[in-house]
Amino acid sequence: MDLHEKLHEVCKQFRIYDEFLGYETIQMGNVNRTYKVNFRLADGNPKSFLVQNVNTYAFRNPVALMDNIDHVTEHIREKKPGQVALHFHHTVDRKTYVIDGDNFWRMTNYVPSVTYNSVHDMDIVRNAGMAFGEFQMQLADFDISSLYETIPNFHNTRKRYETLAASIKENKAGRAEEVQEEINFLMNVRDIACRLTDLHSAGKLPLRVTHNDTKINNVLFSPKDNSAMIVIDLDTVMPGLIGHDFGDAIRFAANFVEEDCPEAEKAGVDLEVFRAFAEGFLSQTAKTLTEMEVETLALSCFVLTAELATRFLADYLDGDLYFHTKYPGHNLVRTRCQIALAKDMLKKMPEMEKIVRDCVSAAK
Ligand code: GN1
Ligand code: MG
C-alpha cells in the first residue's frame, strides 16, 4: 500500500469518511513524520487535518504518551475556553491512535497558521516567549505525578554524557576518530553543562511541568497579526526544569543561523533575540521563579546547547539511528553548529545574565 492509500485508510479509522483529495508532507521536526491530509466535504468545502506517524524508536510507549497529551490538552482547553486549541481525533473504539504493524498514527485538527524556523522580527520573538511562558503557567497546577515520562532522563545532562561516552567507546559506525575535536570540547565542558542536573539532584532547582522541546517552530502564529495562537508538539511534556524550556528556546531561536548550518563559524547567540524572548517569557513567569532559577536561566541556554550537541554526536557515532538525517554527515554538521553556538554563549554569559536580571526586574 502506498502512502496515499495508507493515509486515507488511517483517516477512515479516525472516522473521516469524506472525499480524500490527497496529502502534503509537512517539514516539521526531526523525529516524527507529519502529513497534512486534505478532504472535500459533502457541501463542497475543503477541510484538512494533520496526521502524524509517531517515531516509536524515540517514544517507546506511545500509548502512555497519548494519555499525557490528552490530559494536558484538556487542562489547557479548560484554561482558555473558546480559544484555538489542539484536539486529537478518536477512532470508533475511542482511541486517540491507530496502530498498524510498526506504525503508530494520530490525528489532530489542522490550524491555519504561520510558523517560523528563524525570526528577525522582535515582536514575533517576544510573542513566542510569552506563549511558552504562558504554557508553563497554564500547567503550573497540573498534577505532575500523573505524567508518564515519555523519554526517561530526557534532559538529564549527566545521563546524556554517559550515553555519549558509551557511543564513543562502542564506536559502532567507526566514526570516532574523525570527531576527536568535538569530543574533546564537549568533555572539557562536562561539569558546567551538567550544572542544572546537579543542582536539581541536590534539591536546589524545583521540578515543574515543562514542554521540553521549545523550538520556535512549535508555536503557531496567527496569519493575521502574528500573535501566538497555540503551542504544539506536546510529546515531551514531562516534569522538568524551567531552564529546559527557556534554554532550548534560545538555543534554537536566538542562533544567528539554523541549527544545522554547515558554516558552523556563523553560529552564535543574537542578544537582541535573546532579550526579546526573555522579555516575553519572563513577563509570564518571573513572579513564580526562585532565586536559583533566575540565577541559572542564562546558563541553561549553554546547557541545552551542549546537551543537544552530545545527542547529535552520539547519534552520529551510532550510525544515525535517532534523528532523521537528510544527508550523510548531517548529525555531525548539527553537532558542530551547536558547539560553535555553545562557545559563543560562554563568551556572552555575563551579558545574557544581565539581560535576564533586567527582564525579571521589569516583570516584577
Ligand atoms: C527533536 O523532532 P523535533 O524537531 O520536534 C528532539 C529535540 C531536539 C530537536 C533538535 C523527542 O525535536 O529534543 O532538540 O529534535 N525531540 C526528541 O532539532 O528527541
Ligand atoms: Mg519535538
Atom of ligand 1 nearest to the CA of 28: 4
Atom of ligand 1 nearest to the CA of 59: 11
| Residues 204-218 pLDDT 10s | 999 999 999 999 999
**Phi first, then psi: what are they for 357, rounded to 5°?**
-60, -40
Q: Is 318 in the pocket of ligand 1 (CB under 6 A)?
A: no
The answer to whether 239 and 210 are in contact (CB under 8 A) is: yes
End-to-end CA separation in angstroms for the chain: 58
Query: Which of 200, 212, 198, 204 shows the shortest CA–CA distance to 248?
Result: 212
d(CA 288, CA 285): 6
What pLDDT, on a 0 to 100 scale, did the predictor assign at position 42?
95
What pLDDT, on a 0 to 100 scale, did the predictor assign at position 63?
96
Residue 249 Cα, ligand 2 centroid: separation in angstroms? Answer: 12
What pLDDT, on a 0 to 100 scale, did the predictor assign at position 28?
82
The answer to whether 250 and 301 are in contact (CB under 8 A) is: yes
Strand, coil or helix: 16: coil
C-alpha cell, 333: 554538521
Place of cell 557515532: 317
In order, the DSSP letters of 105-118 are: EEEEE----B--SS
Domains and their CATH numbers in the chain = 3-109 (3.30.200), 122-363 (3.90.1200.10)
What pLDDT, on a 0 to 100 scale, did the predictor assign at position 81?
87
Atom of ligand 1 nearest to the CA of 260: 18
At 186, which amino acid appears? L
Query: Which of 128, 165, 244 shows the shortest CA–CA distance to 197?
Result: 244
Residues in the chain, pLDDT under 70: none
Pick from 26, 27, 31 the residue to mutate for probing ligand 1's pocket: most ligand atoms within 8 Å of its CB: 31
Helix (H) or strand (E) segment spanning residue 28:
none
Q: Is 64 in the pocket of ligand 1 (CB under 6 A)?
A: no
Atom of ligand 1 nearest to the CA of 32: 2
The answer to whether 249 and 128 are in contact (CB under 8 A) is: yes
The answer to whether 156 and 230 are in contact (CB under 8 A) is: no
Helix (H) or strand (E) segment spanning residue 318:
helix 291-318
At 36, which amino acid appears? K
Q: Which residues contact 311 (CB under 8 A, 6 or more apart)?
A: 160, 163, 164, 322, 323
Q: Which residues contact 83 (CB under 8 A, 6 or more apart)?
A: 229
CA 268 to chain centre: 20
d(CA 61, CA 148): 9
Residue 146 DSSP class: G
Residue 133 DSSP class: H
Residue 149 Cα, ligand 2 centroid: separation in angstroms? Answer: 14
In order, the DSSP letters of 288-306 are: G--HHHHHHHHHHHHHHHH
Q: Is 233 in the pocket of ligand 1 (CB under 6 A)?
A: yes
d(CA 9, CA 134): 37
Q: Is 30 in the pocket of ligand 1 (CB under 6 A)?
A: yes
Q: Is 212 in the pocket of ligand 1 (CB under 6 A)?
A: no
Edge-first strand listing for the sheet containing 19-26: 19-26, 33-40, 46-53, 103-109, 98-100
Residue 213 Cα, ligand 1 centroid: separation in angstroms? Answer: 6
Residue 125 Cα, ligand 1 centroid: separation in angstroms? Answer: 20
Helix (H) or strand (E) segment spanning residue 330:
helix 330-363
Pairing relationship of beta strands 46-53 and 98-100 according to DSSP bridges: unpaired
